[in-house]
Amino acid sequence: MDTLTPAQRSEIMCRVRGKDTKPEMVVRSLVHHMGYRYRLHKGDLPGRPDLAFPKSRKVIFVHGCYWHRHDGCPNARIPKSRVEFWTSKLEGNKDRDRANESQLAKLGWRYLVIWECELRDKHVLHDRITAFMEDARALC
């Protein structure tokens, strides 16, 4: 049972942002400091990727573990209330992500998914982004 009123829950949910999130800002800052320049939320690409590199036809998605159901991550739990609703909603997000990734691949774009929990180790993240950006055949 939800302990908040519908108005309180609505107020909280209104604050959930789809872009310019803290994890996205961390990745954007790191990528910029690495010397790469990008376009934000390119609307003409499937899934409106968080970072797009048009010249190299590569994109980066920064996914929250909870909202995008990061497999095996403790942050990808299902809430205890309204389990059916949340399961359907969150699995729908995951299905939509897979469809967007498939469409991007068909259009000849390469993609990298960075999960929120992966932001803890900046050195590993730096190496992963470098490998993705420098590999002409990068498939993720």
Domain boundaries, the chain: 19-134
- The whole-angstrom separation of Cα 23 and Cα 139 is 22
Q: What is the dihedral of CA 94, 118, 129, 111, to 10 degrees?
A: 0
Residue 139 predicted with pLDDT over 70: no
Question: pTM for the full model?
Answer: 0.85
Mind giving me the DSSP string for 115-131? EGGGGG-HHHHHHHHHH
| Structure confidence by residue, pLDDT tens digits, 90-122 | 999 999 999 999 999 999 999 999 999 999 999
Outline where DSSP puts E strands in 4-106.
Answer: 39-40, 51-53, 58-63
Query: Which of 9-13, 32-36, 78-82, 101-105 is predicted least confidently?
Result: 9-13
Residue 12 predicted with pLDDT over 80: no
What's the Cα-to-Cα distance from 86 to each of 39, 73, 77, 99, 102, rounded to whole Å? 32, 17, 10, 20, 24
How many residues in the chain?
140
- Assign 59 to helix, strand or coil: strand
Q: How confident is the prediction for the chain on average, in pLDDT?
A: 90
Which is the CATH superfamily of the domain at 19-134? VSR Endonuclease (3.40.960.10)
